[in-house]
Amino acid sequence: MSQAEATVPRRSLALSNDVLSVFYRLLAVGIICVVLSFISDAFLTTNNLLNVLRQASLVFFMASGLTLVILTGKIDLSIGATVGLSACVAATVIKATDSAMLGALVGIGVGAIVGLGNGLLVTKLRIPSFIATYGMLWVVHGITYYYMSGQSVYGFPAEFRAIGSGYFLGIPIPIYLMILFLLAGNFFTKRTTYGQQIYAIGANTVAARLSGIPVNSRLNLVFILSGAMAGLASLIYLARLNSAEGDIGETLTLPTIAAVVIGGTSLFGGVGSLFGTFIGGLILTLILNGMNLLGVSANWQPLITGLIVLLAVWLDMKTRSKTDASS
């Protein structure tokens, strides 16, 4: 879809496309689940489904902030690095002060500051977001390595660990947090002016600016939110893993971007939804879960993951061009 096609007058159509694309994704999740439940007895159990949702929650927290950035047509490659730095700083604060609350605030704050840095690089210095956040990735990694100097910090108080490994009414707490953020995020993007402006900027930045939307301040906002969500994800990581070291963020960025894209958010901006991102993360998590349950050999796992990701995106593009053509 070209940028001109997705301008404001066609909003209602973009929404119905959204609904359709989410529907196709749910269908994909359904197919994966049916196939897995036939080949593994362990798959369709309450335990395993809660297990999958809990694993998907970490991806969701990282990917939800990133979704907002991608909706504006920008990208944030510093997500993983930000998770690493936030986790390490929060971990040392918690160890030093024994205050989970202070650590949590600092962790989210560090993420928000990195996000603000990204935002300013993009809006003030006009550096393309791909380069700005790629540079930020190395700056943040560098600071993290220097800060940790090869050590790890571990062993956190139980009340802090509850947000990652605790249960309420038999359901893991991260799942509640994910649902909460999913609903709040969905409301923010679909029902508030801010959210609509984010879509409008991604659909056509020039038109958005001409119609009076404060583009730069909204871009700063999405980068700050992306950083803050990475900070929140780092807290869930810490609470689940009970340990932080300098390199934890290194492998997190690309799967996060994959979750957003599989979820149907267009890298060109203006199209997509948080609910789609949730499903994208769920699909990635289901693939790993399935391969583990079936005991797929290490030699084949990367290949299978790659093929399923390609298949998901290809199917999406196909269904998208069909609905576009039929309208």
Q: How many residues bind another protein (CB under 8 A)?
A: 49
Q: Which is nearer to another protein, 21 or 285 (CB)?
A: 285
Q: How far apart are CA 2 and CA 135, in angstroms?
A: 29
Rank residues 196 and 242 by Cβ distance to another protein and give the closer one.
242
Among 2, 298, 325, 326, binds another protein (CB under 8 A): 298
Q: Which two tokens stand for residue 222?
A: 């999405």
Nearer to another protein, 58 or 257 (CB): 58
CB of residue 8 vs another protein: minimum separation in angstroms? Answer: 35
Q: How far is the CB of 103 from another protein (least distance, A)?
A: 18
Q: How far is Cα 32 from Cα 83, in angstroms, rounded to an integer?
A: 30
Of 99-158, binders to another protein (CB under 8 A) are: 125, 138-139, 141-143, 145-146, 148-152, 154-155
Read off the amino acid at residue 186: N
* Span between the terminal Cα atoms of the chain, in Å: 13
Q: At what angle do helices 274-294 and 253-262 cross, to 10 degrees?
A: 110
Selected from 58, 106, 230, 309, the binder of another protein by CB under 8 A is 58
Concatenating the DSSP letter of every residue in 193-242 gives HHHHHHHHHHH-HHHHHHTT--HHHHHHHHHHHHHHHHHHHHHHHHHHHS
Sites of contact with another protein (CB under 8 A): 40-43, 45, 47-48, 51, 54-55, 58, 125, 138-139, 141-143, 145-146, 148-152, 154-155, 165, 237, 240-243, 245-248, 250-251, 288-289, 291-293, 295, 297-299, 301-302
